[in-house]
Structure 1
Amino acid sequence: MSDHAQVFERHRRRLQALAYRMLGSLGEAEDAVQDTYLRWHGQEIGALRSPEAWLVTACTRLCIDRLRAAKVEREAYTGPWLPEPVVGPDAGFEVELAESLSMAFLLVLERLSPPERAAYLLRQAFDYDYPQIADIIGKSEAACRQLVSRAEKHLREGRPRFDADASAARDLARRFAAATESGDPAAFAGLLADDAILWSDGGGKAIAALNVIHGADRCARFFAGIARKRRDGHSRQLCRVNGQPGYIVYENGAVVSVFTFDIADGVIRGIFVVRNPDKLARLEALH
């Protein structure tokens, strides 16, 4: 392995973790990391003060460009857009950053402009200081402080809270999965917050709710209606999805949806269902 490759591999996990949180797509994140490597391969390592700083800077700027290009696509997306799910203990990402990996958190980040998203993540998730962020983004320290401040203002109301009891959260996800099998809205009693919200992402390629559903009663009736129409051949597997409790649903052995939740105060506040087959293709390959 060449010196360039060895140095790059030492930092690959951090670049992947940053790129996924920036882009919400494993495929796009991998492309950004690969483009970073191609640019890195032409650098003179000995002339660099900090290889990590160079790599993080290159990757961040590529992600900002990709986010700007993706804005039009996401505005034209059919139904609610959700990030591509990451399934497993940490799926190659840094475990200590699990909170910033959650589906709920990534969805809230969509409110930010690309520079705000980059500055906020670099500061709050990856603990870079403002002089470093200024070098990475190519703005003054004062401008970066303003970016983070604006991001925090945008996120303050929407930022998810997390249940500290991981065992109770897993049990709640298990009970929710069982309730979805029953076809009875009453089975959801005590599981959902009164103001629970459901996002269902089919991308126009799989059956899903075309609008966000608000309220525990409407969410319960939505899943009860699906259960009554369900055909044989369904199974589910409890797992961690984006660092939070969730599960995969199979139909005759094929992955058809991934569920994860925003859980706080002993109830489910947010339900996230990814059904777009493009976002489930990696799970098919792993199954």
Structure 2
Amino acid sequence: MRVVKVLDFALWKHSEDEPHWNSPWGKGRPGWHIECSALASKAIGSAIDIHAGGIDLRFPHHENEEAQSCGFHNTSQWVNYWIHTGYLHKKHSEKMSKSLRNTVLIQDMLQETTADAFRMACILSKYRSNMEFSKDMLKTAENVYGVFKNFITTCDDFKSQYLKATINHEHLIAALNKCAEDIHSALCDDFDTPLVMKHLNELISTTNSMLHTTSTSGHEAMDFSSVSAVQNFVMTILSTFGVNFRSSSSSSQDFGKIVDILNEFRQSVRITGIEKRDKEILSLCDHVRDSLKRHGIIIRDHGKQSSWSN
């Protein structure tokens, strides 16, 4: 005798018109929840560490998926950690969904911003909170991305000795170790990525204060190791979230080589202007610098040396 309870969900649904298969219970097809259990079990197996999905799937889909998978695999726990994300909204509107026809295509979004900037926006939002998609949100994310990009460039300038600075090795390494511990705690505490960003900002603020300080005695402590350690740590954490500051594509490398040539030519002309004290030449160099800035290329002059970033 088969006992059916009110709260039981369907593992097999009767079907005549839709795609169906013969079974001991008649023609039908698997229930919705079976699909995910079957795919995940086939690809991963009888134990899953982290399972993610939208907040709307928490019940009934994920609970039913867990129940039937535990029964199939004869285990009391199939998934160790569930992560349910909030909705993506448009400003002053409901959540984005295909049914409401208010979605934004990725190719359209990339006309307004970059993939890294959007990833930054996601990191700045708590994963289980709703996120508003707007120009203001994208602008904020781009600004934050720019702060980190400038920091990486400043570290490069220091290591290339374009920038002279006083570095307190012990203090900086202590700040780095504390940041690493704080970030680990933030991720363990409900995957708090906004708090991770706060700790990273504090670390780069501490580092920047040293990178822009010169010893009053005229002796600079050129400690490249601690600055490199901080730079690598920041880049590693952000790359874990998919935000990268080093591009390996051939087109990016070609672009970099072209800007290198332009920067070296401008630098040579600028040195000539400095040596001859020719204000007209220096004014033209400033014009090139300002024009490039409008296109996202930042030229930094360090005495008779120049560096660039984008």
TM superposition score category, shorter chain reference: under 0.3
Structure with more of its chain in strand, by fraction: 1
- Greater RCO, 1 or 2 (C-alpha within 8 Å, sep 6+): 1
- TM-score of the two chains, using structure 1 as the length reference: 0.24
